[in-house]
Amino acid sequence: MNFVGKVWKVLVGIKDGLVLLFMLLFFIGLFGVLSARPNPGQVRDGALLIDLSGVIVEEKSAVDPIAALLSRQAPVGETRARDVVRALDAAARDDRIRAVVLDMSAFMGGGQVHLKEIGAGMDRVRKAKKPVLTFALGYADDHMALAAHASEVWLDPQGVAVIAGPGGSNLYYAGLLEKLSINARVYRVGTFKAAVEPYSRTAMSDEARANIGGLYGALWEEYKAGIARARPKLALARVTSDPVAWIESSGGDMAKAAIDAGMVDKLGDRAQFGARVAEVAGKDPWSNLPGSFASSDLTAYLADVGQMKKGKAIGVVTIAGEIVDGEAGPGVAGSTRIAGLLDEALDDDLAALVVRVDSPGGSVTGSEEIRRAVQRFRDRGIPVAVSFANVAASGGYWVSMAGERIFAEPETITGSIGVFAVVPTFENTAAKFGVTSDGYRTTELSGQPDIIGGFSPAMDSLLQTSIGGTYQDFLKLVSAARKMPVDRVDAIAQGQVWDGGTARQNGLVDQFGGLADALEWAAGKAGAQKGEWHPVYLGEKDARYDSLIRQLVAGEAASASAPRTGDLFAMTALRSEALGSRIARDAQRLLGTRGVQAYCLACPTTAGPVSSQPPRTGAEAPTGVLAMLAWLAGR
């Protein structure tokens, strides 16, 4: 019996080993499938089809497929702006590509700088004698910024095209906080630092209104000038000055009104649009479905064209989204993650570095951690250029102070040099329910910060002094980097937000230009001639593409569930859905554990998710004076 038992144990062991081996092979195979890159062989003669579902971004957000599956909600689709530009430039030279098609049926917007860059790429395709066609169920401001560069703009007969212009409303919570007896203690420096006004006021201050009015006015003028150059026949003044009369002149037919105003060229459904594309790009040999045409999608095409890797390597680090402490991102600028990428790249023999910024700012400690990491390149004598995308304000400007030369576009939003913090206390709320606070204190700071009993005058003074000191640090950084007296910096700071043109006049920006211009400058400083250098994007693997799991979760699912712009009521519904995200963001800014903030609330953001930053937990270590105090109060 002992012998049989031993044989049985051996057999069971072999069985268990085989099960583990097959499981290991299964998961290795699954990982390979999920990590598969697009097959370049999918590219064929015909049209380059660019599906712009979701938002155009500087950097794609990290997707947690398990969380997405559990929530049963697909993340909002994201398309990287430089991927679209690279594909357009390749298509202009590629004999296989006969036309470019932009499907904007589920497009939700992008920053003005990104739209301008893509529009310029569309112009280069048309200059190569290749048609560019767009289709959408509805065109709004961002759609038209791209469609204006197309050779044919198609609209569904049931759709709508409108241009509203920049601007809108913020939510103000001072009245609600008063009703709830919550004391939102505001600490700030900067007359124009409007980021705290939602918690301290019931309406925008005159100072903020004047500053934001100037900013939006400049952005609107740039938008109108761009539309006029790209599509002269569009009667923009008619569309925006009296939209009611414009629509009524077409009997309420929104699609006909769009044709009459020169916003679109053709009306037709998707099948009719596809038939038109097939005329110029060829029929789909594999499908007879209505609307089909020969095409290659963006992802497969980028895999096919590859990237140049000749000559010296110019590093590019991307700072996109809100700046936070820790490892967050991509899509959120986690300072520890970005500083780690930079420190690792110090040993990569980079000839130069370009810091690409598309951020409204955030944590001061996080911004300084990134700036110090960039400064380490300067300390080694490596040339450093800074390239501003749509927004490089507050903390987004702070991180740029280690650069030698700053490039921006006229549509860039920058400045907002100021700092703030908001800490809620609940002494009045507690008193309403009969809860009071008392005790013995040896000093004025004993037991502080007291979230329930309220802050002592000494505590209030300490916090405001801390904010003032941080603001002075900000001014000194800008003064040293921009070679300006501190009082001159203070005059253009105070939380004021500037468009790129005004920022250049103020000395906050060196010259106009995009990422390509910054790369060329950095390569020149490193002694590399044209064609003798290539960019290396830190934190990205070569030919990095979304894994199959992202394509499944964030691609097909997102396309199926993504809101599609249609009539005015559909657009109104989209705004209503975004309202919940805005309120959640504002509540998190008030109640979350945050340190001193260099953040620009006035800076417009693209449509889509407000932030992909994961929620903080009480186990996380706090950074910064105010974050530490808030954390201690919650222990």
In a domain, 67, yes or no: yes
Shared-domain flag, residues 76 and 198: no
In a domain, 3, yes or no: no
Shared-domain flag, residues 329 and 408: yes
Mean pLDDT of 372-376: 96
Instruction: Please check whether residue 87 is in contact with residue 48, taking contact to mean a CB–CB distance below 8 angstroms.
Output: yes
Mean pLDDT of 359-366: 92
Q: Looking at 46-55, 142-151, 540-549, which range is the least confident one? A: 540-549
State the pLDDT at residue 81.
96
Comparing 152 with 19, the larger pLDDT belongs to 152
Mean pLDDT of 614-626: 39
Mean pLDDT of 152-164: 94
Domain boundary among 305, 322, 352: 305
State the pLDDT at residue 70.
64
State the pLDDT at residue 130.
97
Structure tokens at 87: 């594909």
Domain boundary among 305, 340, 363: 305
CA separation, residue 9 to residues 1, 15, 23 (Å): 12, 10, 21
pLDDT class of 390 with cuts at 50, 70, 90? very high
Shared-domain flag, residues 137 and 183: no
Instruction: Please check whether residue 455 is in contact with residue 425, taking contact to mean a CB–CB distance below 8 angstroms.
Output: yes
State the pLDDT at residue 551.
54
Task: Give every CB contact of residue 618 below 8 A, 6+ residues apart in sequence.
Answer: 631, 634
Angle of helix 298-305 relative to helix 81-93, nearest 10 degrees, comes to: 70
Shared-domain flag, residues 146 and 175: no
In a domain, 273, yes or no: yes
Residue 212 CA, distance from chain mean position: 20
In a domain, 94, yes or no: yes
Shared-domain flag, residues 154 and 102: yes
Compute the distance between CA of residue 422 and CA of residue 186 in angstroms, rounded to an integer: 5
State the pLDDT at residue 455.
86
Shared-domain flag, residues 351 and 202: yes
| Phi, psi (deg, nearest 5) at residue 596 | -60, 135
124 has pLDDT over 60: yes
Shared-domain flag, residues 132 and 211: no
What is the CATH classification number for the domain harbouring 138? 3.90.226.10
Structure tokens at 134: 């767009």
Instruction: Give the total number of structural domains in the chain.
Output: 2
Shared-domain flag, residues 497 and 612: yes
CA separation, residue 76 to residues 44, 67, 322, 556, 562 (Å): 28, 14, 17, 11, 7
Compute the distance between CA of residue 437 and CA of residue 457 in angstroms, rounded to an integer: 16
State the pLDDT at residue 2.
64
Shared-domain flag, residues 136 and 284: yes
In a domain, 223, yes or no: no
Compute the distance between CA of residue 217 and CA of residue 229 in angstroms, rounded to an integer: 18
Shared-domain flag, residues 295 and 440: no
Instruction: Extract the runs of DSSP E, i.e. beta strands, from 442-504.
Output: 497-499
Comparing 168 with 145, the larger pLDDT belongs to 145
> Which domain, by its residues, includes 143?
40-163+231-305
Q: What is the mean pLDDT of the chain?
A: 83
Instruction: Please check whether residue 59 is in contact with residue 341, taking contact to mean a CB–CB distance below 8 angstroms.
Output: no
284 has pLDDT over 70: yes
568 has pLDDT over 90: no
Cross-strand pairs, 99: 47
Q: Looking at 96-100, 163-167, 424-428, 557-561, which range is the least confident one? A: 557-561
pLDDT class of 558 with cuts at 50, 70, 90? very low
Domain boundary among 254, 275, 305: 305
In a domain, 394, yes or no: yes
* pTM (two decimals): 0.84
Shared-domain flag, residues 356 and 444: yes
Number of H helices, E strands in the chain: 25, 23
In a domain, 15, yes or no: no
In a domain, 152, yes or no: yes
Shared-domain flag, residues 358 and 245: no
Angle of helix 625-633 relative to helix 457-482, nearest 10 degrees, comes to: 150
